[in-house]
Amino acid sequence: MLLSSPSIQKRYVDTFIAELPTGAHSPYYRAISAGPEAAKDSIIFGLGPATFRDLCPELIGVSAQFDCHNHPHNFYAQLLTETGIVGLVAGSLMIASIIWAAFSGWRKNRTNVVAATAFVVPFGLFFPIQSTADFFGQWNNIFMWSAIALALAAARTLDPRKPK
C-alpha cells in the first residue's frame, strides 16, 4: 500500500521519521524540551504545577530551539519541570505501580482476555516518548483516568482465585 501511494508514505512514514523528537528540527522536541530547559534553576522541587505557562518565556527567552506552550506536552517532562526531580521520581513510581497492577491481572488470569490485556491501557497512555496532554488538569484527563480505573478494576476483579 505504501509503495502504491507515495503521498501516504510521505505522510505516515517520512514525516513521522522527520519529526521524531531528536533535535530542534522537530516540533515535538521544541515543545517537550522547553520544560526541562526552563526547570534548570529549580530542578529539585520544580517550578510548581501550572506555572510553566507563565514562567517559560522569562526562563528560556525567545529561542528557535524551544517553544513555550501551556505545558511541555509530555508527562515526564512536565513532572520534571513543574515538580522537579522529587515529583518526577514520585510520579514515575506511581505510573510504574499502575502499569504493574494492571499487568498483574495477566499474571493471575491469562485465560481472561480483558484481565490479560488490561496493562495495555496504562502502558499506552503513559508511554514515555509520546506527546501528551497536561498531567495536572484538562477536561480530557477524565477520559484517561477513567480508562486506567477500568483497566485496574478489570485486572483486579477478574481474578478467578479471588474468593467471592
Quick one: pLDDT at residue 90? 97
pLDDT given for residue 3 in this prediction: 65
Task: Specify whether the CB–CB gap between 143 and 103 falls below 8 A.
Answer: no
pLDDT of the residue at 22: 78
What is this structure's pTM?
Answer: 0.81
Contact 79, 49 (CB under 8 A): no
Q: Which cell is 109 given?
A: 488470569
- Closest to 122 (Cα-Cα) out of 75, 70, 71, 86: 75
DSSP annotation string for the chain: -TTT-HHHHIIIIIHHHHTSSSSTTSHHHHHHHHHHHHTGGGTTT-S-TT-HHHHHHHHH-S-SS----SS-SSHHHHHHHHHHHHHHHHHHHHHHHHHHHHHHHHHH-TT-HHHHHTTHHHHHHT-TTS----TT--TTHHHHHHHHHHHHHHHHHT-TTS--
pLDDT along the chain (164 residues), means of 10: 72 79 82 91 91 90 84 93 96 96 81 84 91 82 91 77 58
Find the distance separating the first CA and the last CA of the chain, reported in whole Å: 51
pLDDT of residue 161: 61
**What is the per-residue pLDDT for 158?**
58
